[in-house]
């Protein structure tokens, strides 16, 4: 068939999750807390986790690339593509993606937690009893899958252009069934789309063989009708309780997909409705033009069948409760998974239609920024009192939870509505609740007289803010960047210096190559970071853009250009409507000059945001584990030098290893009283490591060329870190050997010039 086969089949009768690598430790993982390992697959591990994105705690699922694949460029690109595609999908029948990024070199996605099972669990349980899925629940599940697929197939970007998404992996493993009756399509990991970064090579087939459409199995171009075929296979297998095309090996399976006769489900299991036979067989027509024209057309046909069955989510929940699921799944269902459902306390809905919509959104999304939007709506209606109550309540809880940037943006929003609002005093009050102290938060709620709005938040989180004072946890282990470390006085000064901006979806926030004199942080919304690569590994020039990172609430960007005074290294584009906090260089410089207490937090911010990036880009330092680089940074000091100022002198005792953060330095040696130039180094390079690591004295002098910023790392600390990483130490030894050889060559060349030898 000429196809490069890159997938496997899964039978209903066997387990479909297999551990292949030791999982990561539970506990803190960036802005999440990993609470339970759910599954380990061939390339990724999945955890149940807690998140407070948006200020309100919610359960979520973290999908994390296994460590050995995090350095695989092709796999990481595919993983990022899944995130980029999935994050644009917002439908009740699709598993939502809340966040994605990287923590200590590990790429992850934060996904909606569905308290339930996947369809394979149900099929296996039914097969063990000699049963299939009854017609009504099978039709309902298929209909919901098709609704989700139709949303994906018809999705457009912010410019109105079709995204052209095709899932390519619709199968029982990727259909999740909530115990509440929800049906959700998951895992767009190999989805095809117009804006993919990675592409399938010609002749390559991706997906599960037994659910591939004939055109997918033949590596031909696909559209949404390929997913319709896969949905037809899933519906057939639910109705029959067995596999349609699966065989012993992939070649035979694909042969059946392309050539085997397809019989009506009722021929395998008597008594099935003729209408479901017709719907299923039309989906499984091999000529694409004879299939349902799109997912919606097939969903509508199933709607007609279901209209007489009176079958919906409640009935699906009852069916799942009746299925003899295995012990683990049953226990999960009895625990409820820790996720809130429709039984959350409801607030009386207001009469204004927009306020009604926002109240429902707050209950569904559990994001405190919706409380800010409720306040803004009250302000637009002329009720400044209600605006103050909602916005201040949101700001207080956000600050208490460590979401300081959104909290400051919320107070600026109130100031926009009410210029008389005491912003300076409000910022001072927020600073007092940064330490996760429940009593301080409750006291602020009373002082600000915002209890009515605060109670709405408590109702949304009965196990957190709504529980006993002692139940919420301890102080925040990792304070928010910059705002979490400054004194109360500097927190207020920063908050007053901040400019809050609003940007529309698709707007470019900063452009690669521009001069940058501002630091930004996301107050609300999401942005994507992209860069123009210099090559694709072949040396050929490229003009396209490559995704680099995703930014969410509380994330900073622009610090590299601000602090190094170099042009922007990437473009940041709003993926949703964005509320942005901006701090300009002039204001920050004024703080540095006016108050020495501000210097230390800014240096810490500098080390975290800029130095870590530069260290990770250095070929030798990149080979160190992230925690080892962190040890170096913790012990490092930032040094600044003016033009021509000496940094180290030949003959001095060995001390620090220096890492150039910005600027250039000149390395020279005195020979018979004359300075002999040896090298010119710039940002991202080291010097001083030979003397520091080997002991003895400096063998050359170094002076600044223009203004220079250096990171000084103790030679003793560097030696200890490299002792624990012998392979990296070998890289340093090799580099030092090459530098020593080059120095000897330069000195010999200089001697020939001066002596004529």
602, 653 contact by CB (below 8 A): no
Q: Which of 81, 115, 169, 192 is catalytic?
A: 169
Torsion 141-143-148-153 (CA) sign = positive
Closest C-alpha among 403, 415, 341, 414 to residue 367: 403
Q: Tokens 């190094």 map to which residue?
A: 564
Separation CA 405–CA 398 (nearest Å): 9
Separation CA 25–CA 28 (nearest Å): 9
Q: CA gyration radius for the chain? A: 30
Q: Respond yes or no: is residue 536 known to be catalytic.
A: no
Edge-to-edge strand list for the sheet holding 578-584: 499-503, 578-584, 518-524, 556-557
Torsion 44-47-52-54 (CA) sign = positive
Reading the block at residue 598, the tokens are 């501000």
Q: What angle do CA 734, 735, 736 make, to 5 degrees?
A: 90
Reading the block at residue 583, the tokens are 């701090």
Reading the block at residue 531, the tokens are 């860069």
C-alpha distances out from residue 652 to 391, 695, 740, 746, Å: 60, 11, 18, 22
| Residue 136: CB atoms within 10 Å | 20
Q: What angle do CA 233, 40, 176 make, to 5 degrees?
A: 35
β-sheet bridge partners, residue 64: 45, 108
Q: Give a three-class secondary structure readout of 441-502.
A: HHHHHHHHCCHHHHHHHHHHCCCCCCCCHHHCCCCCCCCCCCCCCCCHHHHHHHHHHCEEEE
Separation CA 430–CA 409 (nearest Å): 12
Separation CA 547–CA 529 (nearest Å): 6
DSSP string, 129-180: TT----HHHHHHHHHHHHHHHHHHHH-B-TTS-B---B-S--SGGGEEEETT
Separation CA 581–CA 374 (nearest Å): 20
Separation CA 525–CA 158 (nearest Å): 15
The set of catalytic residues is 169
């Amino acid at each position: 068939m000429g196809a490069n086969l890159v997938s496997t089949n899964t039978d209903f009768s066997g387990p479909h999750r297999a551990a292949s690598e030791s999982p990561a430790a539970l506990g803190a993982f960036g802005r999440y807390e990993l609470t339970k390992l759910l599954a380990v697959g061939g390339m990724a591990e999945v955890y149940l986790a807690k998140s407070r994105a948006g200020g309100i705690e919610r359960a979520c699922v973290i999908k994390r690339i296994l460590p050995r694949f995090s350095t695989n460029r092709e796999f990481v690109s595919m993983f990022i593509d899944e995130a980029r595609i999935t994050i644009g999908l917002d439908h009740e029948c699709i598993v939502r993606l809340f966040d994605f990024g990287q923590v200590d070199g590990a790429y992850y996605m934060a996904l909606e937690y569905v308290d339930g099972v996947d369809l394979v669990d149900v099929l296996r349980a039914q097969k063990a009893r000699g049963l299939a899925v009854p017609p009504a629940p099978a039709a309902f599940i298929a209909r919901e899958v098709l609704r989700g697929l139709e949303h994906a197939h018809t999705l457009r970007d912010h410019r109105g252009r079709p995204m052209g998404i095709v899932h390519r992996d619709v199968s029982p493993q990727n259909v999740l069934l909530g115990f509440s009756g929800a049906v959700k399509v998951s895992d767009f990991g190999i989805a095809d789309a117009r804006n993919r970064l990675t592409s399938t090579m010609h002749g390559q087939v991706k997906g599960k063989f037994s659910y591939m459409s004939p055109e997918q199995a033949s590596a031909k171009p696909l559209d949404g009708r390929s997913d319709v075929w896969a949905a037809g296979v899933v519906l057939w297998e639910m109705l029959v309780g067995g596999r349609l095309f699966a065989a012993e090996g992939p070649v035979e399976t694909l042969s059946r997909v392309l050539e085997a006769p397809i019989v009506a489900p009722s021929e395998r299991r008597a008594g099935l409705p003729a209408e479901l036979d017709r719907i299923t067989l039309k989906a499984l027509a091999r000529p694409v033009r004879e299939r349902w024209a799109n997912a919606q057309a097939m969903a509508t046909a199933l709607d007609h069948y279901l209209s007489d069955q009176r079958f919906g989510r409640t009935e699906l929940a009852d069916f799942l409760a009746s299925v003899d699921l295995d012990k683990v799944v049953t226990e999960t269902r009895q625990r409820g998974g820790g996720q809130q459902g429709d039984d959350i306390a409801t607030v009386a809905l207001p009469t204004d239609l927009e306020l009604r919509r926002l109240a429902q959104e707050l209950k569904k999304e559990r994001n405190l920024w919706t409380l800010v939007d409720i306040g803004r709506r009250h302000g637009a209606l002329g009720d400044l009192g209600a605006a103050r109550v909602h916005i201040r309540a949101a700001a207080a809880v956000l600050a208490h939870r460590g979401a300081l940037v959104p909290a400051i943006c919320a107070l600026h929003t109130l100031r926009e509505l009410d210029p008389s609002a005491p912003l300076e005093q409000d910022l001072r009050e927020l600073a007092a609740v940064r330490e996760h102290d429940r009593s301080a938060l409750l006291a602020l709620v009373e002082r600000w007289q915002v209890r009515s709005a605060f109670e709405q938040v408590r109702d949304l989180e009965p196990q957190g803010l709504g529980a006993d004072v002692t139940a919420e946890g301890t102080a925040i282990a990792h304070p928010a960047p910059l705002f979490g470390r400054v004194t109360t006085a500097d927190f207020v000064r920063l908050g007053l210096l901040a400019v809050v901006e609003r940007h529309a979806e698709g707007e470019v926030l900063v452009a690669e190559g521009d001069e940058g004199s501002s630091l930004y942080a996301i107050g609300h919304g999401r942005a994507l970071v992209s860069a123009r690569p210099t090559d694709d590994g072949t040396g050929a020039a490229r003009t396209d853009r490559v995704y680099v990172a995703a930014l969410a609430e509380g994330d900073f960007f622009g610090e590299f250009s601000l602090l190094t005074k170099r042009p922007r290294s990437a473009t940041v584009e709003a993926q949703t409507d964005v509320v942005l906090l901006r701090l300009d260089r002039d204001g920050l410089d004024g703080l540095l000059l006016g108050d020495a207490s501000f210097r230390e937090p800014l240096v810490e911010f500098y080390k975290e945001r800029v130095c870590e990036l530069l260290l990770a880009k250095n070929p030798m330092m990149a080979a160190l584990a992230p925690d080892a680089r962190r040890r170096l940074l913790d012990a490092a000091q930032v040094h600044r030098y003016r033009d021509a100022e000496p940094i180290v002198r030949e003959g001095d005792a060995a001390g620090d290893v220096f890492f150039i953060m910005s600027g250039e330095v000149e390395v020279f040696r005195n020979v018979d009283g004359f300075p002999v130039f040896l090298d010119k180094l710039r940002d991202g390079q080291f010097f001083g490591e030979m003397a520091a690591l080997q002991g003895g004295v400096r063998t050359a002098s170094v002076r600044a060329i223009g203004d220079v910023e250096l990171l000084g790392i103790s030679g003793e600390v560097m030696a200890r870190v490299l002792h624990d990483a012998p392979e990296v130490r070998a890289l340093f030894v090799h580099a030092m050997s090459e530098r020593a050889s080059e120095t000897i060559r330069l000195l010999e060349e200089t001697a020939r010039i001066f002596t004529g030898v």
